[in-house]
Structures are given as C-alpha cells and as structure tokens.
Amino acid sequence: MGKEDAMETHILNFYEDLDMSFRELLVVSSDIVNNNIQVQEKMDGQNLTFTVKDGELKIFGKRLDRKIIESRGATWKTIDENYSEITREGFKSAYFVLEQHLSTFSQEDIDNIFQNGKIVIESAMITPLVPVTIRYSSNYIRFIRPFSPYGLDVSSSLVTESFSKITSVERFYIDHKERTWSVGPVPVLKNIATQKERAGTTRNIKKSIVSLINEHGENLTIESTLGEYATIAVEDYIRKNHKNIPNEIRKNVAKRISEKAKKEFTVSHIKNIFPDSYKEIWEEVKLIEKNEILVLASSISRLENTIQKIGSLVFDCLKFELAKDFTQIDDLQNSVKEIVSAKSNHAIKVINTANGDIEELSDKWSMKLEVGIERASEIHLLRKPVEGIVFMADIDNRKVRRKLTGMFTAIHRLTGLFKFTTGNKKLIVI
C-alpha cells in the first residue's frame, strides 16, 4: 500500500459507480450467484479501529491519520469523554473484550502487528448495545484489515502472518458486565442455492437489467454505462419538472449533474445560444443544481430499484452468519409503510431539536422525503434482514471493492430522516 494510503471510509454500491456498464453489472451479479466471486457479509455496525502504543490499547473512529494516532485515541479511562451516551456502553464493552483478546498473544505478536502504534486494525463492532437499522441479537467484533497511515507495508509477510494469527479464529469472551462477545474474522458467506436455482436467478437478473434498458428504447444498450443511463434519467427529470430549460441544451444541463461536467457547459455557452433569455435559463439551471444530489437520486431511482432487486435475488442464494433475526423484517417494512401513510395524511412535519418548534416541510425537506420514499418503494423485496455483501470484482479492467445492499440503504436513509438531525432539524410524525 502506498504512503498516502487511507482507510476505506466508503465502498461504492453499483448505482454509485457510473463508469460501470450494464454488461459488467450483469456479469458481476451473475458471478456472485454462480459462486465465482467470494463475498463477505457487510455489517451494520460501528467502526472500531484500534492499535497498541506504548503498551496501551487505543481505539479510534474511521477517520484516521498520523496526527490523530499521535494525539488522540480512547483508552479505558477516557471512553466516557470520547463517545456519546448512545454508543458509550458498546465501545466500553468492546474495549474490555479487545484487551482480553490481545492479552492471549505474546508481546512479539503484538509488536509485529501494531509496530508501537504505526499500524492499526480496522474492525466493526456489532451489538444490540448500540441500536442501528439492522437488529442483531448477539455481540460481535469482526476484524477487517490492517492499515498504516505511516506508509508501512501491511502486505509484508510479517504483518499478514501476525494479522492472521490475531484475527483469523473466532473466540468468545465475557465483558465487564457478564455479556458474551464473539471476536473473529468477517464472515465469508456460503452459497446455498442449487444449480437450478442459480440458473433461474441469473435469468431473473438479466431480465431486470434488460427491462430497465428497454425503457429508453434505442438510447441505451447492454454496453451503455450507468452514467449514460443517469444522463438520460436526469434529462427526463428536467423535461418533467423544469420546462423552462430548452430542448437544445437539456442534455448539457443534465451532464452538469450526472457527469459533474460544469466546466464543459457554462452560462457563457447558454448566452451564445440564447442571447436574449440566457439569464432566465441560467437561473433555472442554478435552481435545479441547488438540490442536485437529490435531483440525481430521484432521477436514477429506477436504476436503484433494479439493483435492489438484484441484491434481493443474490441474497436468496447466500447464507448470512451475523444478521439472522428474521422477526424484524415486518418491523422494517412497516417502518417504511408508516412513513408513506403519514405523508399521505399530511402528518409529517419538521422539528427543530434545539428549541422544540414544529415547522411545515420546506421545499428541500419535501424533496428529501419524496426521494426517500421513491428509493424505498420496492420494500417488499426485503426478504432477509441484512445490510448486504462486500466483494472484489473486475470492473472496467480494474480490481475494485464494491458492495451490494439490497433494500438496506433505502430503509436506512428514509428512516434516518426521522432519527438524525441536519442543522438541528429532522422529520417528525405528528
């Protein structure tokens, strides 16, 4: 790994990789179904990155660099002041368990893997002590990978052997309040589908992709990229919602959002084509781009729905190891249905958590809610209570790490509008 290596803070979903072609989407999805790609369970938990420096265990969040390693890091004595009330007990418990786990290895093993704080181990903490979207019934720590902001070679035999020794076997420990924890590697999932089921699933995936392509006639083929689809979809959005954008430049305006091509088409270009009305047109462009993330999300919701279906079909072929509480499926589906019903009844408002004031939905909050409901419209596809899978795939001649999350992301983002604040505000059902 290079000296500027950074911890992986976000793994792209298929619909976020707009350079990917529909053919690659089909091939990668089919390879997973047919057991040609190894997949790991993606966990809905908290990042737990840790190291040992000067003989003391220190834990960190997922944003980590040299300065943070050298000046921060929570210990048993400082966890209370470093973590919020909702996460504090979970991290305290995990710290206690990690100390037990590391104490079973020799000082040489500890020195080899951590290099006195210059290498950290990125891991995930999954526990009912910290409520998240997916409900887990047990406590887990799962080790993901070693990482060094100092540019040390974490692929060396010394580090990889030490990492394997410390992380590759599942072990069980009791925390400071008599709770049982499982510590070990990220689960590699077993494909449980029969050959007949795999063939049927592959056909259904292809059918879903081809159906989406055919919605746009001759403008798309199996070789088209998801980015090309996104441009057409944003064009359609503009056509329906912003009729003041002339037909001649609609595609150029769409590309400013779908391809981030703002320098390629500017107000000067519009002025050259429409010298008398360019100011009004440009104002409309800026109005669209005021909420461009939401515009793009709304435009490609059909693509996201298709990938959600692919995820659901793929998950049917896999046996998940950590997320196994099927009793929560109805709860998750109902949480979405209740929001849809509340919106229909005009019962959703905005609450200012700083002063308790209740406000009507602004245009932006209305759009956030609409997009969230669009993305979760295929809630019936939730058949397994899981976040998803992570895997390495060949896309555009690159070996890349990707995720497939089925309905999880849509549920998480929609319900999150009611759980998490933005500028001291969130949605509330009254």
Q: Where are the domains of the chain?
A: 44-185, 195-298
**What pLDDT shows up at residue 396?**
77
**What pLDDT shows up at residue 4?**
40
Q: Which two tokens mark 313?
A: 């079909």
Q: For 55-88, what is each residue's pLDDT tens digit?
A: 999 999 877 888 989 889 999 999 999 999 999 9
Please give, one letter per residue, the 3-state secondary structure of 217-261: HHHCCCCCEHHHHHHHHHHHHHHHHCCCCCHHHHHHHHHHHHCCC
Is a pLDDT exceeding 70 seen at residue 109? yes
Is a pLDDT exceeding 60 seen at residue 7? no
Average pLDDT of the segment spanning 129-148: 95
Q: For 385-425, what is each residue's pLDDT tens digit?
A: 999 999 999 887 888 999 999 999 999 999 999 999 999 99
Q: For 333-374, what is each residue's pLDDT tens digit?
A: 999 999 999 999 999 999 999 999 999 999 999 999 999 999
108: burial class by Cβ within 10 Å (0-12, 13-18, 19+)? exposed
Helix (H, G, I), strand (E, B) or coil at 215: coil
Is a pLDDT exceeding 70 seen at residue 8? no
Q: Which two tokens mark 391?
A: 């895997």
Predicted model pTM: 0.90
**What pLDDT shows up at residue 3?**
38
Q: For 190-203, what is each residue's pLDDT tens digit?
A: 999 999 999 999 99
Number of neighbouring beta carbons within 10 Å of residue 11: 15
